Structure 1
Amino acid sequence: MTHPTKEVEPLPDNPDRDLSWTLDSLHGFCRKDGLEDGNRHLSWSLGTFPDRWMYLNFIFHYFTPHDTDADKWIGSGIRCDRQTITVPIGGPRGRATFIEQRVWFSVRTATAYDDSRAPDLAKRLLKGPATLGFVLDDVLHHPIRMTQKDWEMRGLEPVKGASGVTAFQMLLWGGVDEWSRRWNACLDYVDRLHEVQIEDIDGSDPEKLNDLMFDPRGSLAKKYFVTAHLLKIFRRHIDVLPRSLQQMRSKWQSTYPGVDSDLLERFDNPTQLTLLKNWSRLVDHAGALHEKLAHRIEKRSGELLNLRNTLLLARATVRN
């Protein structure tokens, strides 16, 4: 992933590690603080070198249920410390733990750069692949789908001279889908902690039924309250992705607007317009999935707070 055209002396004890283009994202992926904590947001980055090379980075994050009793790291490499949330809403020993996970998409790609000062660029390009990238995940292998059918279904357009950029856009589309799936799996787990079983309400255990109806110890109302606010915390984390993706698109548009652009060395106007159209479609797709997650959270948290209020009213009625 080093810069393929950088001239260095290959010393055995100090090999070239020119990864400056990705250090911000490496920091964002590895640090325990949130991607938007502090003065710099590290969920995305893009930039260019003063030649044909360009880099693009994006980091997704989500929370997943975490079994602390079965915490045995079986992956390779170094495991990064992540944020954890532990709340008394059920699960092992009455407490549920959720741990943050991150996925980092990174691409370094050569574009059709026109530089009359470097006539041997085509030869120099052979020093490295025209596009090189990786996906780094905390836990699982991240599936990559980039068949012709995927291009057609998603409505993204490949562009000659910018194939690395469009490949990155395709990677992000798949990343958005996986991000949505993993957040929904987390919310499914929270829902299961509040499921009422048939044996809880069939009268076979009068004490349990009475607890569900009147919550004499207040534990159920507390559980509903804590869960509702846990979901609101999740909502703030979910909001990061569409905001970050929109920021990345805006940065791209400010550099390559597609109309009356002053920067034509890398992409001509038609190419810029196509890439911008792809960015817009990707942002819209992420926005649609985010809206579904946000609606699910708002609906469920509202239901839980209503249940809590009903229980508090029932307890007050019984006391009177």
Structure 2
Amino acid sequence: MAKLGVLLLNLGSPASTAVPDVREYLKEFLLDERVIDSPPLVRNAIVRGLILPTRPPKTAAAYQRIWTPEGSPLVTVSEKQRDLVAAGRDIPIALAMRYGEPAIAKVIGKLIAQDVDRLFVMPLYPHYAMSSYETVVVRVMEEIAAQKPAMDVTLLQPFYQDEDYIEAMVANAKPYFDQGYDHILFSYHGIPERHLRKGDPSHAHCLARPDCCESCHPAHHTCYRHQCFATTRAIVAKAGIPAEKHSVSFQSRLGRDPWLKPYTDFVLEELPAKGVKKLLVMCPAFTTDCLETLEEISMEGKESFLKAGGQEFAQIPCLNASPPLIKFLNGRIDQWIAQ
């Protein structure tokens, strides 16, 4: 009988807020060809010549603002997720990060040492993007091919409009919705526009027309923008949010190339002039709070909104280790086991 195992996956974090650790993390992250998808020589010049000499101290300072006594919020919360999913199960439930520790290669080695030969790989990314879901899946499959190519692997597919995931998102946000709001901003992590075009199998649909995300097309299976809009529509419908009281934006851009628009930082500065005084921000691209939600949105974003004339600001926490997320993950594991 096959020995079952589950592998939860997320982005990763520096080992500490020390500048050398942050530099090492940024190097691994930004040299990934699916993050900065320029030719190798260009990518190396950008990362080693422009980014690593200047950016690590600034990024380290940002991490210092959110770091806890236990360490990185992303890692410590992910560990709680793993432990809660593992509770009551008699199969190995492992956790690995695409960058940093616990490293994918080591964790897969440990699963193999436990005789696991049927593995459920669960990237905790609701949406497909080459710089998130794709890169972590490719890395996992490379390691399995190197260490145990005969292993039976099942992948959790992007769950951006899964009914149970949407229900978990709404349940998690309900206490904030119930307090009232002028507007809800759905802020998703941005990606370069060229990533959409690269992922479009036709190379003629994504961003080629204003309604590309609404018109049915095979590109939507790997179209991050379409999937973000689909998640928003599903949450809005489930929670009964009025059309005039929500919008979508994209955050965390890097470099000068065009990224998905509108940009969150611009939107936060514009909303007060449109009469929005009490703002809620949801970040559905993230299952776990991290630098991009805790610092970029809850600190920098809040400051920008209030300076522009807003009065009340709240970032609705990610699902983190909440019962709705654990229920969702356990449900998908149970479905896999039953196959």
* Larger Rg over CA atoms: 1
TM-score over 0.5 for the alignment?
Answer: no
* TMscore range, shorter length: under 0.3
TM-score relative to the length of structure 2: 0.24
